[in-house]
Amino acid sequence: MADAKPALQRDLVTRGLAAREARWLVDEFYLGADPDAFVALEGAVARRLSGEPLQYVIGHWPFRGLDLDVDPRVLIPRPETEELVTHALGELAALDVTTPLVVDLGCGSGAIGLALLDELAARGVRATVVAVDESTDALAVAKRNALKHGLHQISFVHSSWFDDLDPSLRGRVDLVVANPPYVGAREFTGLDEVLRYEPYGALVAADADGVEGFADVARVIRDSVAWLAERAVVVVEHGEGHGDAARSVAHAAGFAHVRDEKDLAGKDRVLVARR
Ligand SMILES: C[S@@+](CC[C@H](N)C(=O)[O-])C[C@H]1O[C@@H](n2cnc3c(N)ncnc32)[C@H](O)[C@@H]1O
């Protein structure tokens, strides 16, 4: 019944789906002529047509080399965050430690920490990741993704940022990576409604230092210093308007080398600070 697929796709396009999405949904849910496949496809189409993000409807999404399970308990990993992983890998290579200890703060689906583990292993580097989130729901998804990809050098900690981390890690971490919430509450009300499907606490942060949505970015940068080893690095994704404030927080916190990396649109988006 493979021939049924083009007709199903055309039908979905006439019902309002983009051609690419129609193809993805048919490929994902239409597994044969059995009635259950139609029911599953119809359910998925109804969810997508009601506005739910395609990633949640499909239930998994690629992030760098990994196919990650995603559902409404976690943020959908973004392409900008794939860039953050590139910068983090570059910093670790420059640090040249054989068994790096990495803390992934606000791990969500596990995207950053798991991609780092996966790609470092491919380079022969045996890293250990401590993945932290204040959402137990997010931690459950991240654990499932670690199992799915057979990535075992990772532990999971339920904590608000560094608050409940094992104190023996202080001064020993080689890399802190984070993509904290960084949208201001006021800004959030003006953004695309599709963001309402994602966890509010994954997106929205309080204002700080007179900057909208900056509180968590500032906290992660400031608090990292005490946990990092000599010459170790924090790599933090931040909002488009946060570059100046993030660099000045990093300088004030005592980091020796501070820079911002730009996204593809040329905007400062990732703070890199080395002790
Ligand atoms: C923007 S999402 C990033 C998720 C994932 N790292 C990624 O890049 O796709 C922010 C994450 O930070 C978590 N978070 C928010 N406040 C937190 C806090 N105080 N302590 C720890 N995690 C927090 C949220 O639950 C969410 O999973």
For 123-152, write each residue's pLDDT tens digit.
999 999 999 999 999 999 999 999 999 999
End-to-end CA distance of the chain: 61
27 CA distance to ligand 1 middle (Å)? 31
Q: Classify burial at 23, counting beta carbons within 10 Å of its beta carbon; exposed 0-12, middle 13-18, buried 19 or more.
A: middle
Whether the pLDDT of residue 235 is over 60: the answer is yes
| pLDDT per residue as tens digits for the range 152-167 | 999 999 999 999 999 9
Nearest ligand 1 atom to the CA of 74 is 27
∠ CA 152-156-158, rounded to 5°:
175
Residue 51's pLDDT is 94
Rounded Cα distance, 39 and 245, in Å: 51
Helices (H), the chain: 4-14, 19-29, 35-49, 54-58, 79-95, 111-122, 136-148, 185-189, 200-203, 215-224, 243-252
Mutate to test the pocket of ligand 1, among 133, 238, 269 (most ligand atoms within 8 A of CB): 133
Mean pLDDT (the chain, rounded): 95
Whether the pLDDT of residue 1 is over 70: the answer is no
Residue 2's pLDDT is 53
Residue 25's pLDDT is 96
| pLDDT per residue as tens digits for the range 81-98 | 999 999 999 999 999 899
Q: Classify burial at 149, counting beta carbons within 10 Å of its beta carbon; exposed 0-12, middle 13-18, buried 19 or more.
A: middle
Q: With contact defined as beta carbons under 8 Å apart, do 52 and 197 qualify?
A: yes
Nearest ligand 1 atom to the CA of 81 is 8
Nearest ligand 1 atom to the CA of 138 is 27
| pLDDT per residue as tens digits for the range 46-77 | 999 999 999 999 999 999 999 999 999 999 99
